[in-house]
Amino acid sequence: MKRHVTIKDVARVAGVAPSTVSYVLNGSRAVTAETTKAVLEAVDQLKYRPNPTAQGLVSGAYRTIGVVSAQIYSQYRGRVVAGIHSALRGTGYHPIVSGIEDFAEPDEVLETVMGRGVDALIFHDHFFPPERIAELHRQMPVICVAREIDGMPDRSVLVDEVNGGYLATQHLIELGHTRIAHFVADHHFQGAAQRLAGYRKALEEAGIPFDPALVFQGDNLGDSGLRLAYELLESGVPVTAIFAANDYMAYGAILALHRRGLRVPEHISVVGYDDEHTSGFYVPPLTTIRQEPREMGRTAAEAVLKLLRGEVFRTVVTPTRLIVRESTAAPGHAG
């Protein structure tokens, strides 16, 4: 395999000192136009690319942002990462992503990410122990997406989850539903409680009493939606609509209803949450809550850059909105 071209090679070819090459490339000191030209030519000729590892060793800065993201197979989560990428573009910083697997060990994830030398961290993972995150927070800038950690004020990019839950439920109520079940998101996830709060708020506002028998704890997977829907049906509690706290659970619920001969939305309306890219092609296309994952990623990356520059960042809350498709309709639609 081939040896790397180093700054010395460039210096030799350009007939200058290595440091001069460094100064030209980094603009960290005034250099004659002539010298600059010679250096740049040598760089071109040798196709020299500085070794960021060595740069990092010297400066103690790696120009790298570690990103820890669980369950990246969700389009929603992938988009957050995409937003981070795009905000970092042209800044000289690059993201390195880990925690692709659902249940990657915290230590391992950290070793992957930290081991490479990172200047800051973005967490989009609700499994990672908060104490560990807080600990890292003491060593470098850390931003959390869709999560808040005790002792880390102004270090989050949040989503207006309460409003999301509210919007979903209110939509159902406006359609005329009063018996609305809610499949709660995975309990590790902070948004779960907030979506539930939004659900309760909408009910309350409409004067519909909250019924605990209508709320079921899920775990975000399709299978849990399926199971919960069966449970709901078997419980005999009358219901005309389901608000599932994520799209996958909504899929599972719709399948369960289908298997029991219940059609959506004719017999039961269903609304999801996240607007995964498959939801518009589901049968029926799913009414859901859309967040702005790309925007969230961008904001998180910009926050980190800000902290790195020593500026202040204040926690921001990104909006949610309702996407009405075809899985919701007025109740009693089919009798």
d(CA 156, CA 101): 23
Task: Out of 285, 292, 316, 323, point to the residue binding a second copy (CB under 8 A).
Answer: 285
Task: Out of 41, 45, 57, 151, point to the residue binding DNA (CB under 7 A).
Answer: 57
Handedness of CA 8, 9, 10, 16 (dihedral sign): positive
How many residues of this chain interact with a second copy, rule: CB under 8 A? 59
Task: Out of 37, 41, 44, 51, point to the residue binding DNA (CB under 7 A).
Answer: 51
Q: Which amino acid type is present at position 31?
A: V
| Interaction between residue 258 and DNA (CB under 7 A) | no
User: Do you find a cis peptide bond into 52, omega within 30 degrees of 0?
Assistant: no
| Interaction between residue 122 and a second copy (CB under 8 A) | no
| Interaction between residue 30 and DNA (CB under 7 A) | yes
| Interaction between residue 96 and a second copy (CB under 8 A) | yes
For the chain, how big is the Rg over CA atoms in Å?
Answer: 26
Contact between 145 and 161 under an 8 Å Cβ cutoff? The reply is no
| Interaction between residue 131 and a second copy (CB under 8 A) | no
How many residues of this chain interact with DNA, rule: CB under 7 A? 33
Q: Of DNA, a second copy, none, which one does residue 23 interact with (CB within 5 to 8 Å by kind)?
A: DNA
At residue 295, the 3 state secondary structure works out as helix
Helix (H) or strand (E) holding 80: helix 75-88
Q: What share of the chain is helix, strand, coil (3-state, %, to 5)?
A: 45, 15, 40
Candidate ranges 5-13, 79-87, 122-130, 203-211; the one touching a second copy (CB under 8 A): 79-87
Q: Count the Cβ atoms, other than its own, within 10 Å of residue 13.
A: 18
And the tokens for 295?
Answer: 């925007």
Alpha-helical regions (H) of 116-213: 130-137, 161-175, 190-205
Nearest Cα to Cα of residue 94 among 116, 71, 124: 116
Q: Which is nearer to DNA, 21 or 72 (by Cβ)? A: 21
Task: Out of 108, 131, 154, 174, point to the residue binding a second copy (CB under 8 A).
Answer: 108
Candidate ranges 68-76, 158-166, 171-179, 314-322; the one touching a second copy (CB under 8 A): 68-76
Which residues does residue 244 pair with via DSSP β-bridges, in sequence order?
183
Q: Which amino acid type is present at position 303?
A: A
Task: Out of 10, 13, 42, 78, point to the residue binding a second copy (CB under 8 A).
Answer: 78
Task: Out of 17, 37, 91, 115, point to the residue binding a second copy (CB under 8 A).
Answer: 115
Q: Which is nearer to a second copy, 236 or 261 (by Cβ)? A: 261
Helix (H) or strand (E) holding 43: helix 33-46
Contact between 162 and 316 under an 8 Å Cβ cutoff? The reply is no
Candidate ranges 73-81, 150-158, 184-192, 234-242; the one touching a second copy (CB under 8 A): 73-81
Per-residue binding string, DNA, 191-230, x by CB under 7 A, is ----------------------------------------
Per-residue binding string, a second copy, 294-333, x by CB under 8 A, is ----------------------------------------
Q: How many residues does the chain have?
A: 335
Nearest Cα to Cα of residue 142 among 163, 160, 118: 118
Residues that bind a second copy (CB under 8 A): 1-2, 49, 51-54, 56-57, 62, 64, 72-75, 77-79, 81-82, 85-86, 89, 94-98, 100-101, 104, 108, 111-112, 115-117, 138-140, 222-223, 225-226, 248, 251-252, 254-255, 258, 276-278, 280-285
